[in-house]
């Protein structure tokens, strides 16, 4: 026999579906609550359950579920009324039982407001009715933001500069739901389709954002003097970096900042003709991918010899196929065997942009989780390896 607790659980499970019917205009009532009609073998327990069911029913409380009985013959050939069906006959009965009257009233008002302003959100509301409840106190602000972007596509402003009546932090705190809404209400031509996540909100909808900074060392004083007013160590935003036009031939990209500073301080002593250095910053290497001016340069990448360093090498070679690696080989790894550390495990099994030797190295370090950090490689060794590049050029 079904219990009152069972009914409560089943009605709660039905609640989201019920909210969907509000949007679609359907009437799900009366709603029958399916149950196992067999009684407990424990006669006393069965009696208690039946008594509780009756006491909590609409007949006794004036609202809630209704009980329908049918008359059956028992084994003793006596007639007895047993529970045949439990149902909620009306929306009011259902909501009062769940104590959701106020929540649903607010839901209906918000849903009406949303659809009045953006009818195209109808299917989204039916799919995610609980989100209407989740943001119950924020819908007017959310709609104001949607309306602003519809009237002012790709505004090219920072979020705090937008002329929309919401708190400065509101958009920052609601990027997830705004991403869903704007994806629907904005024409596709007003959305930068290459960016898809809430973390890329500003890029997707044409806003300015706090860009990553890229550090560049110019190792040729003639380039610095003739094109950068003598500056040899500069930090620029991602956008500014992509618009640079530095007339060099070789570009060193280094994964680790500490190593970059130490090595590049050393390299600035003997100037290296037609060469610059870039701090890649690990997987932030993606910030370089739109710098088309790098496409015809000889790019030389140096990272840690571990699974992550080789993943980054594969990544940047995906952007610039002419990228070469330096000191990321089995020879270098074996030369500093006493300095091996434990790396970070990875689930990556295949890197498409590695050479055969680099793939072999990746599998080797992955098997025993080996890591050789750049800092552990002596400057003497580094200088010899870099000299080889210019000797063979």
Higher-pLDDT residue of 302 and 358 is: 358
Would you tell me how many other CB atoms lie within 10 Å of the CB of residue 216? 19
Chain segment 96-150, per-residue pLDDT in tens = 999 999 999 999 999 999 999 999 999 999 999 999 999 999 999 999 999 999 9
Partners of 341 in beta bridges: 371
pLDDT higher than threshold 90 for residue 239: no
Higher-pLDDT residue of 309 and 279 is: 309
Number of domains in the chain: 3
Mean pLDDT for the stretch of residues 163-172: 90
Could you give phi then psi for residue 46, rounded to 5 degrees? -60, -40
> Which of 98, 126, 142 marks a domain boundary?
98
pLDDT higher than threshold 60 for residue 278: yes
Structural domain containing residue 143: 102-204
Identify whether residues 199 and 60 lie together within a single domain: no
C-alpha to C-alpha distance for 1 and 46, rounded to whole angstroms? 7
Predicted pLDDT of residue 181: 97
Would you tell me how many other CB atoms lie within 10 Å of the CB of residue 275? 23
Identify whether residues 313 and 239 lie together within a single domain: yes
Identify whether residues 379 and 294 lie together within a single domain: yes
Identify whether residues 218 and 92 lie together within a single domain: no
Dihedral (CA of 197, 203, 205, 208) sign: positive
Predicted pLDDT of residue 48: 82
Identify whether residues 226 and 328 lie together within a single domain: yes
- Mapping DSSP to helix (H, G, I), strand (E, B) and coil, where does residue 334 land? helix
pLDDT higher than threshold 80 for residue 346: yes
pLDDT class for 8, splitting at 50, 70, 90? very high
Higher-pLDDT residue of 260 and 341 is: 341
pLDDT higher than threshold 80 for residue 49: no
* E strand segments, the chain: 31-32, 66-73, 79-88, 213-218, 233-237, 250-254, 275-279, 298-302, 324-325, 341-342, 370-371
Predicted pLDDT of residue 266: 42
Mean pLDDT for the stretch of residues 344-373: 92
pLDDT higher than threshold 90 for residue 70: no
Identify whether residues 250 and 336 lie together within a single domain: yes
Q: What is the residue-averaged pLDDT of the chain?
A: 87
Identify whether residues 257 and 387 lie together within a single domain: yes
Predicted pLDDT of residue 270: 52
Predicted pLDDT of residue 386: 85
- Report the percentage of the chain scoring pLDDT > 90: 59
Chain segment 71-100, per-residue pLDDT in tens = 777 665 566 677 788 999 999 999 999 999
Predicted pLDDT of residue 75: 63
Q: For residue 270, give Cα distances in angstroms to 49, 274, 275, 383.
A: 90, 13, 12, 11
CATH number of the domain within which 386 lies: 3.40.1360.10
Identify whether residues 80 and 171 lie together within a single domain: no
Predicted pLDDT of residue 280: 58
């Amino acid at each position: 026999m079904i219990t009152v607790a069972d009914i409560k659980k089943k009605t709660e499970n039905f609640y989201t579906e019920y909210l969907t019917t509000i949007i679609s205009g359907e009437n799900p009532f009366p709603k029958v609550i399916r149950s196992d009609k067999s009684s407990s073998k424990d006669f006393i327990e069965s009696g208690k359950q039946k008594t509780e069911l009756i006491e909590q029913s609409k007949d006794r409380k004036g609202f809630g579920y209704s009980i329908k009985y049918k008359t059956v013959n028992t084994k003793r050939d006596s007639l007895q009324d047993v529970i045949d069906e439990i149902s909620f006959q009306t929306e009011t009965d259902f909501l009062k039982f769940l104590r959701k009257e106020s929540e649903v009233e607010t839901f209906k008002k918000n849903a009406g407001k949303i659809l009045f302003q953006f009818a195209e959100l109808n299917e989204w509301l039916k799919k995610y009715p609980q989100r209407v409840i989740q943001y119950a106190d924020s819908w007017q602000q959310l709609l104001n933001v949607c309306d602003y972007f519809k009237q002012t596509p790709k505004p090219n402003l920072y979020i705090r500069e937008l002329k929309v009546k919401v708190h400065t932090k509101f958009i920052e705190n609601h990027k997830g739901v705004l991403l869903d809404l704007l994806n629907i209400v904005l024409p596709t031509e007003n959305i930068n389709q290459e960016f898809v996540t809430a973390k890329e909100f500003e890029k997707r909808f044409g806003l300015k954002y706090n860009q990553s900074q890229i550090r560049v060392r110019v190792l040729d004083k003639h380039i610095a003097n003739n094109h950068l007013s003598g500056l040899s160590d500069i930090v620029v935003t991602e956008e500014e970096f992509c618009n640079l036009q530095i007339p060099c031939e070789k570009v060193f990209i280094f994964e680790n900042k500490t190593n970059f500073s130490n090595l590049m301080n050393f390299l600035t002593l003997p100037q290296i003709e037609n060469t610059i250095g870039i701090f890649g910053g690990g997987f932030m290497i993606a910030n370089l991918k739109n710098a088309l001016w790098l496409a015809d340069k000889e790019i030389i990448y140096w990272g840690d010899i571990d699974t992550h360093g080789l993943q980054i090498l594969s990544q940047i070679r995906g952007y610039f196929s002419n990228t070469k690696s330096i000191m990321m080989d089995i020879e270098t790894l074996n030369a500093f065997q006493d300095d091996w550390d434990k790396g970070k495990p990875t689930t990556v099994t295949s890197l498409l942009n590695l050479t055969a030797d680099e793939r072999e190295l990746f599998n080797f370090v992955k098997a025993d989780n080996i890591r050789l950090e750049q800092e552990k490689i002596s400057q003497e060794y580094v200088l010899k390896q870099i000299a080889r590049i210019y000797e063979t050029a």
